[in-house]
Structure 1
Amino acid sequence: MASPTVPAEGAAERELPQTLIDRLASRVASGGADTATIPSPFTGEPFATVPISTADDVRKAYERAREAQRAWAALPAGERVKPFLRLAETLVDRREEILDVIQLETGKARRHAMEEFLDVALCSLYYARRAPKLLKPKRRQGMMPGLTRVQELRHPKGVVALIAPWNYPFALGASDIAPALMAGNAVIHKPDTQTCLSSLWVLDLLISLGLPEDLWQIVVGDPAEIGDPLLEEADYVSFTGSTRGGTAIAAKVAPRLVAYSLELGGKNPMIVMPDADVERTARGAVRACFTNAGQLCISIERMYVHEDIYDRFVPRFVELVKGMKLGTGLDFDAEMGSLTYRRQLEAVSRHVDQAVKEGATVLAGGKARPDIGPLFYEPTVLTDVSGDMDLCANETFGPVVSIYKYRDEDEVVARANDTAYGLNASVWTKHPARGRRLAARIQAGTVNINDGYGAAYASYDSPMGGMKQSGVGRRHGAEGLLKFTEVQTVASQHFMDLEPPAAIGYDTFAGFMASGIKLMKKLHIK
């Protein structure tokens, strides 16, 4: 079985300047002496040390954040967006630096780090342009036209706790924090310790661009130590991570009736229709399945290929997978990088090994590649995966996809929906209208036609999130900002009260009001 190739220039050659690491580490909200050492997934060798926060550090961070938030919320929204308008251009000018940071802490290929950079730049710019209008007081229709005047106001929640994952630390931290801040909130942010440097980097940058010092604070540490105070003090909680973690957070904050948004796991299907372009679909499937070594909640883990195209599509897809370049270089040569954690490598190996033992067939990959780096695993394609295998039903979160053959649309929709998850899906066809009809039947928060995940995710004007066990709430679109606000209705009554004048009996008044319903309907006032 052929293995994926390795770029000739395979080693990560650059290191982060110690002065940069020290400056970023100083941004951690920590008053203690304890530290954590961050290893590079490419080599397993330490490359940075950061302070660890305590429970008391978290509580003090909230105190400072509440003080900063009051002054920040008093500013017009047009003033609050200014640091983020400056951010887009500054990110472009310093993109090589942040791409290095992302690669060294996550192990991902540079082309996939570039997706994080683009997400932060474009998403923050989207909200910076639209936040003042979204937050502006709005006139709403009153009960009695001309007599009841209603205004909808938006107030910030207060201090938001945001817990970001390790797989896309730059994007899934900053791109959610930006709208929360623009809405007038402060943020206490807990990134994963392994991947905290990219968040510290953009925090440091935003402060240099005018963001108040204590408005966004980053705490680093073990959830067992800082998780409780982080949630206990929050006015709103935003979490991206596992379904298990999201369920625990929801249970923790429920007694206080604190609102939350959760983007959780997925077992995302891709449907290849009989009229799909084989070459385009096969190349798109490589990206859909193996971006960031499959450590992407919206990546494809299940692929359903119509029987009429199966024998042409699968060989071509497997050929492309076997030809993928793996590597550790801080350039754009590698098509796939490393896994980030040892535990993730073990989970991927366990899923694949169990499936093979129970009868699955490996068409490409299927093994770890310590010759490239300690956490590398080959992009892997399997068939003959049955429902009793862990690989079939559970999220693998690695560079593994299983392929299934199907006969008709009803069958494939049922199989695509046969999961507890509902985050993302992909449909490939030469006829987009047909693809849209099929997409509407799939139980997933986003469905991409002739793309794996980016078309929907990066369309920031439209909401993104999960159905079923894949989450609660949405990021992006108006909801991605307004969820960080409390809505208030202010109604004033003019000229006539909502009860009869003294000279009119209630029977007459009731008849007048009832007749008014018919009149308002006829005039299309209501």
Structure 2
Amino acid sequence: MRSSAPVACHGRTGLIYIDGRWVQSTSTATHNVENPDTGDVIAVVPECNAQDLDKAVQAAYNAFHDGPWANQFSGAERRDALIAVADAIEEHRAELELIESINTGKPISDMHVEVDDTIDLFRHFAGYADKVEGRHIGHQTNQTIEGYTVKVPVGVVGFINAFNYPLNLLGWKVAPALAAGCTVYFAYLLEKTGKFPPGVFNVGQALVDHDLVDKIGFTGSVATGKHVIRSTASTQNVRSTSVELGGKSPGVVMPDADLDKTAQLVVSGCMSNAGMNCNALTRLWVHRDIYDEFMPKIKAAAESMVLGAPQRRHGDGPVIDKRQFDRVMEYIRIGKEEDKAAVLTGGERAFDRGDARIATEEIFGPVLSVLEPFDSLDEVIEIERKNEFGLAAGIFSRNHQDIKKFTRKLRSGTIWVNTYNALFSYLPFGGFRNSGFGRELGYESFDGYLVPKSIIDDVSY
């Protein structure tokens, strides 16, 4: 194993951020953060308890109802605050790239892109902050009654994020929520901007069971997402929930596809970020006419991937920890034992009918399941309609009729055509069925943190 130096986080070891201050946790329990590449402990963080959590929620609640962020700050002031966050991230990008590379095992080149995306997220959502609009309804049945709507922030929002893109996913959730005027949870860089009143953002554990929380945003596994939904339904106060869950996303290669280019797109679509993408292309359908020609190209593309230490500029990093690695290997073992799959790069060839666990359950690792060759796009669409997930899909073809049929009939939140994994801050992202509900990114995400309020005024009074 390679060795890595420990990372110091501004001398605030053991402290948590609540109500505009770094404070000591009331918990004595700690958690070791390990470098996935080396196994070295790079940080020791407190495991917050219910008492810490309650303080953080109360701070956010007070900040929302009595503080200036939602009540006195104009949209333009919130816009400027979010732009200041983007500027701070840009100023500290080198240390963020290094720290997150060590934390996640990602190469510096990957972290460079992730930091770029996070900066873009804060600047993009800053643009919505001063553009919250209502509607004027006007006279309907009564000439003296005026009706109009205003949109107000939903309130205190609790976030639970996944481990695969810790910095980027934080931007996905925090930026639109703050732009809308909600109070949420991020720490040091937001503090440094000097633009955020105490209590507007805090760092703590999940707020699912707390009655002062108005909305929960979750990204993670289906099992945990269902638990979050059940928990929010069983609390004293009903609250809004947005969950972005897993996927088992199909990719379809049609006979007229550019096979060399498509092989590279498929492999990167599956295996980028060590396969730890909720929208990873993990179910591959290849038309029978090109199956034999395409399989060696997929094999070669997969074998061309280079593993590298995180601090190198290029290469692919490890999965996040040993537990995740063992999970990936267990699925491969199960696939072999079910006698429904074989490892292509091991020189064996087998047709997978598509019902093996390795082909139907989310693995969250660099594993591509190549299914039986197909003859008709309609049969693929019919099978994928039974897929328990509906987060993403891809089709590789030059035939516009096939593309139109696939994109219209498949129930997937994002469908890529002749590309894969391209996401943009201005386009919504989310899924159907067990892939969750609600949307990240785009205006739809921002609007999800606002609720309409109707005002009815008798002007004759």
CA distance in 2, matches of 1:181, 1:481: 9
SS where residue 37 of structure 1 aligns?
Answer: strand
Q: Secondary structure at the match of 2:409?
A: coil
Query: Which blocks of at least 5 consecutive residues in structure 1 are unaligned?
Result: 1-9, 189-199, 221-225, 367-380, 498-526
Structure 1 residue 311, shift from structure 2 partner: 2.2
Residues 1:236 and 2:215 are matched in the alignment:
yes
Of 225, 231, 245 in structure 2, the residue corresponding to residue 264 of structure 1 is 245
How many angstroms apart in 2 are the aligned matches of 1:340 and 1:115?
18
Q: What's the secondary structure of 2:118's corresponding residue?
A: helix
Query: Measured at CA, do residues 339 and 464 of structure 1 come closer, stay the same or move farther in structure 2, by a change above 3 Å?
Result: same
Match of 1:449 in 2: 417
Structure 2 residue identity aligned to 1:245: T
2:175 aligns with 178
Partner of 2:272: 291
1:38 aligns to what SS in structure 2? strand
Q: Does 1:317 align with 2:298?
A: yes
Is the 2:36–2:318 contact (alpha carbons within 8 Å) kept by the matching residues of 1?
A: yes
Q: Does 1:469 align with 2:434?
A: yes
| Matched-pair contact (CA < 8 Å) for 2:101–2:310 | no
Does 1:396 pair with 2:363?
A: yes
Q: Determine the C-alpha separation between the residues in 1 that align with 2:197 and 2:311.
A: 33
Give secondary structure in 1 for the equivalent of 2:398: coil
Equivalent in the alignment of 2:22: none
Task: Mark the runs of 5 or more structure 2 residues left unpaired by the alignment.
Answer: 19-24
Once the two structures are superposed, residues 166-217 of structure 1 have per-residue CA deviations (whole angstroms, 9 ceiling, x without a partner) of 11111112221111112111114xxxxxxxxxxx5xx211221122342111
- The 3 A distance-change label for structure 1 pair 145 and 105 is farther
The alpha carbon displacement at 1:90 in A equals 3.3
Where in structure 2 are the equivalents of 1:37-56 lying within 5 Å?
37-56=32-51
- The equivalent residue for 2:190 is 206
Equivalence map 1:111-260=2 (5 Å): 111-133=109-131, 135-140=132-137, 142-144=139-141, 148-188=145-185, 203-209=187-193, 210-220=195-205, 229=209, 231-255=210-234, 256-260=237-241
Q: How does 1:369-518 map to 2 (within 5 A)?
A: 383-404=350-371, 405-431=373-399, 434-454=402-422, 457-458=423-424, 460-494=425-459
Cα distance, 1:337 vs structure 2: 0.9
Answer whether contact 1:232 1:253 (CA < 8 A) is retained: no
Instruction: Give the Cα separation in 1 of the matches to 2:342 and 2:247.
Output: 23
Alignment pair present for 1:66 and 2:61 = yes
Query: Partner residue of 1:83?
Result: 81
- Equivalent residue of 1:406, what SS? coil
State the 1:131 CA deviation: 2.3
SS in structure 2 of the partner of residue 302 of structure 1: strand
Counterparts of 1:24 and 1:179, CA distance in 2: 29
User: For the Cα contact (< 8 Å) 2:263–2:294, is it kept in 1?
Assistant: yes
Distance 2:400 2:354 in 1: 31
Give the letter for the 1:422 counterpart.
Answer: G
The 1:292–1:145 alpha-carbon spacing in structure 2 relative to 1, beyond 3 Å, is farther
The alignment status of 1:22 with 2:22, answered yes or no, reads no
Which deviations, in whole Å up to 9, do the C-alpha atoms of 1:324-361 show, x marking residues without a partner? 10122313221x21111222111111111111233322
Distance 1:433 1:103 in 2: 43
2:86 aligned with 1:97:
no
Deviation of residue 98 (structure 1)? 1.3
1:123 shift after superposition: 1.8
**Paired residues of 2:128 and 2:446 also in contact (CA < 8 A):** no
CA distance in 1: counterparts of 2:261 and 2:14, whole angstroms: 44
Secondary structure of 1:57's match? helix
Which residue in 2 is equivalent to 1:282? 263
- Is the Cα–Cα contact under 8 Å of residues 11 and 329 in structure 1 kept in the other structure? no
- Matched to 1:26, the amino acid is L
Deviation, structure 1 residue 148: 4.6
What letter matches 1:488 in structure 2? K
Change in Cα spacing, 1:284 to 1:401, as seen in structure 2 (3 Å) is: same
Over 3 Å counting, the alpha-carbon distance change for 1:257 and 1:310 in structure 2 is same
CA contact (8 A) 1:21 1:48 kept: no
Distance (whole Å) between structure 1 residues aligned to residue 6 and residue 317 of structure 2: 19
Partners of 2:409 and 2:126 in 1: CA distance? 34
Total equivalences in the alignment: 447
**Residue 54 of structure 1, CA deviation:** 1.2
TM-score by length of 2: 0.90
- Identity across matched positions, percent: 28
Kindly indicate whether the alpha-carbon contact (under 8 Å) linking 2:16 and 2:204 is maintained by their aligned counterparts in 1: no
Look up the match of 1:376: none
